[in-house]
Structure 1
Amino acid sequence: MAVHTATPHSHGQVLPFRESLLAILGIAFVTMLVALDQTVVGTALPTIVAELHGFELYAWVATSYLLASVITVPIFGRLGDYFGRKPFVIASIIVFTGASLLCGAANSMLFLVIARGLQGIGGGMLVGTAFASIPDLFPDAHTRLRWQVVMSSAFGIANAVGPSLGGFLTQYYGWRSVFYVNLPIGLLSVVFVWRFLPHLRNSKHEGPIRIDWLGAALIALSLGALQMLVEELPKHGVTTYTSVLGVLAIVAFGALWRWERRAAQPMLPLDMFANRALSTLFLLAVLGGFSLFALLFYAPLLLQGGFGMSPQEAGLVITPLVVCITIGSITNGRIVTRLRNPNLMLYVGFVMIAVACLGVGVATRSTSHAVLFVIMLAGGLGLGFVLPNLTVFGQQAAGREHFGIATALLQSLRMVGGMFGTALTGTVVTHFYRHGVHVALEDANAMQWLAHFGDPQILIDRNAQAALVAELAKAGHNGALLIEQAREALVGGIHLGEVIAAVVAFVAVVCSRRVPPVKLTRTVEPPVVAE
């Protein structure tokens, strides 16, 4: 295979403007594929379970995807550093799209769970390689930040239309269509990537490459055990099973650390963690993921289950959070390159995220929609300031040799932080809700109705709620009062969970001081084009 050094154009990009636009559109379609799938599937899940049955596997539809993607993101991020990213991007689109076809054809919950796991492998490959393709195309950090607006817009569009699209497709075309919708997007993605994304490789990895398969296996084992532990601990507490998972995760991480110190070409280069800037950015990715997921998952539950808003009302209030991530990213690209200290954007972003979490943590039913709108707007802008900068700063600190693994680790650690955020917040919410409901029913001598209040979903499903109130009234209980007391318990739990997320975001503000001043230099090392 012949290789030659790519000469960056005058504006800090490997390709001319037209080719750069077409290449990044291909990557944007790829990332939209993953983002859209994550948002549309959740809407369809209740309908899927109703048809396929197997409620005991309900959570595994999401867990199998997350487990597979968390494991594969860092592995393929590193392989992309070695062999170039284009082959893996194309393979990941094919795997993801093929798995989507299998998901749509599922005739049982077990089949769907397995297909979702395969889809997670494709999704992990996509995240691990597609994001790292951007610094390959745009070695200059200034130019990269401007072009990343296309990626942010793709994510914003997918997140904004995903829930509504999922509901529309499920209602009018059946739940299988939420998976089949990936097929045309996948086809479009593979055409653009195949045709316009150049095959770029890092010149420092020329010569024979020994793949660190043991390192890859230990990454899979450690992250897999951690994922399962975080999933199971809030549901079942400390049991023999969760204890085994905890011990397995610790042992696997220890073995990974020892092995990678000796490996000639480690899958996880430990010298990155000795880099103060990178190690701090990795920590900020965990803290940012914690607050991000706590906000995204539980703000809608507060509005609908706690405050009794309709899905349409709640969607209107939440919209600024999703849309302003894109607006914040666009604004960030315009501002950060003009600052003498680009790190300031991390401070501003995390402060805004903390304020948004705190705002949700103190909001009440009497809080006006305008105030809630401003809270969500602050959260969205804050995320738009933080997320692209963590990636760009990390790539700048890592250097071209570690672009892929550094980018992949930032994505993986954000997902790990999100797992901890949703798990801890979910544990707090569940404890407060169940305790509040238990006390209310006990005071009303209605403990036989405890199972009906077991899931906060009863506070969102108005039809089920009306039927329950009617049944309680027939039994001589004040159903409306009990529903209201359940709402208060849910609100109390979410409030505490969001305050914890706000504290985590403020900790991130403090930790941001440890990031050495980042220099978004225009001096770049050209990549290598493989032909």
Structure 2
Amino acid sequence: MAVHTAAHHSAGQVLPFRESLLAILGVSFVTMLVALDQTVVGTALPTIVAELRGFELYAWVATSYLLASVITVPIFGRLGDYYGRKPFVIASIIVFTAASVLCGAANSMLFLVIARGLQGIGGGMLVGTAFACIPDLFPDSVVRLRWQVVMSSAFGIANAVGPSLGGFLTQYCGWRSVFYVNLPVGLISFYFVWRYLPHLRHVEHRERMRLDWPGALLIAIALGSLQLFVERLPEHGLTAGSLGLLVLAVVAAYGLWRWERVCPQPILPIDMFRNASLNALFTLAVLGGFTLFSLLFYAPLLFQGGFGMTPNEAGVVITPFVVFITVGSIANGRVISRISKPNLMLYIGFAMIAFCCFVIAIATRGTPRALLMGSMIVGGMGLGLVLPNLTIFAQQTAGREHLGIATALLQSLRMIGGMFGTAIVGTMVTQLYTNGVHKALDAEQATHWLPQLADPQILINREAQTSLVADLTRAGHHGAPLLEAAREALVSAIHLGLALAAIIALISLWQTRRVPPIKLRSKPEPVMHAD
């Protein structure tokens, strides 16, 4: 196996054009694997629960995956810095695809939850290593932006077709096919990565690395406890158990900070957080995740439950949001290398996201669909300007030594921001909706009907609504007005939640000033060797 110092080709890349294209196609299939799974599975969940009968574990189908992936992203991001990323990308494809087959073969909700946890480990390995392969292949950040469009397009295509594909497969092929669809995508990505992705490693880390197991364990405890806390918050509120999880997360995070300061080879280099530019970018990743996930989770509920759209109608309104994230990324790659102040794109992006949130936060049932779709286009474009630039800026600021862990941390912090966004907005929506429904029922002296209206999903299921209205009418109550009152309570609750997301986007806009002026490097650093 030949080892040589990477010879950078004319465009600031370590491979010629054809090999670069095939390698990035492999990485793009890998990211498509994760994106497709995230969007396809959600559509099938109600059908899965109906067949496997385990509603008490409903949330854990998503939680087990998120929990495992949030923990493993920074761990494998760091290991990739030391040992090269190709072995971990290959291992992650195998784990993720095998776990997908296990999910499809599940005969109980508990089995499915465990298989989803294993799938989350594979997904965390994927995110922690695949995104950092791009700067390995293209050390020149200007060239990297152009090539990253391929990856952004694959991600966008998977997000755009995922919900429709999930519905089609569930309806015509059964819910198990939603997991089995990962098998051909996994095999294709495995072939391309094995055949074309070079094994690039860093010269300075050829000596034996001692794995920081205490650091990895503390990361797992801190992020795991935090994930469980935010998952419990919307449903249970601030209970003793929830506060205990929060305290455990804080104690583990403090212990991690103390340990990593003295560890000779830390898995999480604390000095990165002392870098003003990286610190600002990490903060923006958390805030951006808060806004993004709040919008993605609650805009569909507003359109269907609040405005009475069918799932198909809501999908038509929301699809431009996902598609234009990709369009924005492509436009960003064309523009940012031609302007003298790349930071400007972050300002424009966050302003567009805030605009989108504010429009949706004041929208009513009578708002023209064209305006709703237009705002979704603006929001998607904004994210297309923000997401790739946060990654590019962090990779350039962190330097070659910490490239993988910086990329992985950015992804983890975005997910943590999303966790907080969905938990806080979810708690607001749940409490405000319940209070509004309780008030309407109290005026009709029908508070004993609260359990039937407590879950806003009733406002999406039209058959259940018809049945409930008939039951209320037979009981001597005004069924249709009560259902309408519940719908208005949901609209008001989500409006306030998305208004908070818009405020967070404005705070992100203000925080962008903390990012020092970034100069995109046009000269690559020949610091790697390839196998």
Task: Please give the TM-score of this superposition, normalised by the length of structure 2.
Answer: 0.99
Distance 2:138 2:93 in 1: 22
- The structural deviation recorded for 1:529 is 3.2
**What 5-or-longer segments of structure 1 have no aligned partner?**
none
Distance 1:243 1:435 in 2: 24
- The structural deviation recorded for 1:464 is 1.1
Contact 1:40 1:163 in 2 (8 A): yes
Distance 2:285 2:15 in 1: 30
Which one-letter code corresponds to 1:112 in the other structure? L
**What 5-or-longer segments of structure 2 have no aligned partner?**
none
| 1:217 equivalenced with 2:217 (yes/no) | yes
Which one-letter code corresponds to 2:152 in the other structure? S
Structural mapping, 1:371-520, within 5 Å: 371-520=371-520
SS of 2:401's partner is: helix
Q: Per-residue CA shift, 1:70-102, capped at 9, x if unaligned?
A: 000000000000000000000000000000010
Q: Give 1:276's aligned residue.
A: 276
Contact 1:290 1:501 in 2 (8 A): yes
Which one-letter code corresponds to 1:233 in the other structure? L
SS of 1:340's partner is: coil
Distance 2:413 2:348 in 1: 21
Structural mapping, 1:73-222, within 5 Å: 73-222=73-222
Which one-letter code corresponds to 1:4 in the other structure? H
Contact 1:281 1:515 in 2 (8 A): yes
Contact 2:260 2:270 in 1 (8 A): yes
Distance 2:198 2:207 in 1: 21
Q: Per-residue CA shift, 1:305-364, capped at 9, x if unaligned?
A: 001111111111111111100000000001111111100000000011111111111111
Distance 2:72 2:2 in 1: 29
Q: Give 1:323's aligned residue.
A: 323
Contact 2:203 2:529 in 1 (8 A): no
Q: Give 2:364's aligned residue.
A: 364
Which one-letter code corresponds to 1:171 in the other structure? Q
Q: Per-residue CA shift, 1:5-31, capped at 9, x if unaligned?
A: 111110111111111111111111000
Which one-letter code corresponds to 1:182 in the other structure? N
Which one-letter code corresponds to 1:454 in the other structure? A
Distance 1:19 1:478 in 2: 68
Distance 2:359 2:460 in 1: 22
Q: Give 2:254's aligned residue.
A: 254
SS of 2:264's partner is: coil
Q: Per-residue CA shift, 1:373-420, capped at 9, x if unaligned?
A: 111011000000000000000000001111100000000000000000
Which one-letter code corresponds to 2:296 in the other structure? L
Which one-letter code corresponds to 1:180 in the other structure? Y
Which one-letter code corresponds to 1:128 in the other structure? G
Which one-letter code corresponds to 1:155 in the other structure? F
Moved more, 444-453 or 316-325: 444-453
Moved more, 117-126 or 161-170: 161-170
- The structural deviation recorded for 1:527 is 4.3
Distance 2:480 2:162 in 1: 33
SS of 1:394's partner is: helix
Contact 1:136 1:527 in 2 (8 A): no
Distance 2:418 2:377 in 1: 20
- The structural deviation recorded for 1:451 is 1.1
Distance 1:3 1:18 in 2: 21
- The structural deviation recorded for 1:3 is 2.9
Distance 2:61 2:215 in 1: 28
Q: Per-residue CA shift, 1:449-508, capped at 9, x if unaligned?
A: 211101111101111111111222222222111111111100111111111111111111
Distance 2:185 2:262 in 1: 43
Q: Give 2:38's aligned residue.
A: 38
SS of 2:529's partner is: strand
Distance 1:216 1:2 in 2: 33
Distance 1:172 1:52 in 2: 18
SS of 2:211's partner is: coil
Q: Give 2:21's aligned residue.
A: 21
- The structural deviation recorded for 1:234 is 2.1
Contact 1:40 1:165 in 2 (8 A): yes
Q: Give 2:62's aligned residue.
A: 62
Contact 1:3 1:529 in 2 (8 A): yes
SS of 2:208's partner is: coil
Distance 2:91 2:330 in 1: 30
Distance 1:240 1:432 in 2: 22
Contact 1:6 1:528 in 2 (8 A): yes
Distance 1:2 1:266 in 2: 30
| 1:320–1:136 distance in 2 versus 1, CA, 3 Å | same
- The structural deviation recorded for 1:264 is 0.8
Distance 2:430 2:159 in 1: 26
Q: Per-residue CA shift, 1:40-81, capped at 9, x if unaligned?
A: 111111111111111111100000000000000000000000
Distance 1:298 1:312 in 2: 16
Moved more, 313-322 or 112-121: 313-322
- The structural deviation recorded for 1:366 is 1.1
Which one-letter code corresponds to 1:42 in the other structure? G
Once superposed, what is the RMSD of the aligned Cα atoms?
0.9
SS of 1:438's partner is: helix
Which one-letter code corresponds to 1:185 in the other structure? V
Q: Per-residue CA shift, 1:174-195, capped at 9, x if unaligned?
A: 1110000000000000000000
Contact 1:302 1:490 in 2 (8 A): yes
SS of 1:201's partner is: strand
Q: Give 2:348's aligned residue.
A: 348
SS of 1:225's partner is: helix
Contact 1:198 1:529 in 2 (8 A): no
Contact 1:277 1:397 in 2 (8 A): yes
Moved more, 207-216 or 185-194: 207-216
User: Across the two proteins, how many residue pairs are aligned to each other?
Assistant: 531
Contact 1:3 1:528 in 2 (8 A): no
Moved more, 415-424 or 467-476: 467-476
| 1:227 equivalenced with 2:227 (yes/no) | yes
Distance 2:510 2:496 in 1: 21
Distance 1:482 1:504 in 2: 33
Distance 1:515 1:276 in 2: 7
Contact 2:434 2:454 in 1 (8 A): yes
SS of 2:4's partner is: strand
- The structural deviation recorded for 1:423 is 0.5
Task: Please give the TM-score of this superposition, normalised by the length of structure 1.
Answer: 0.99
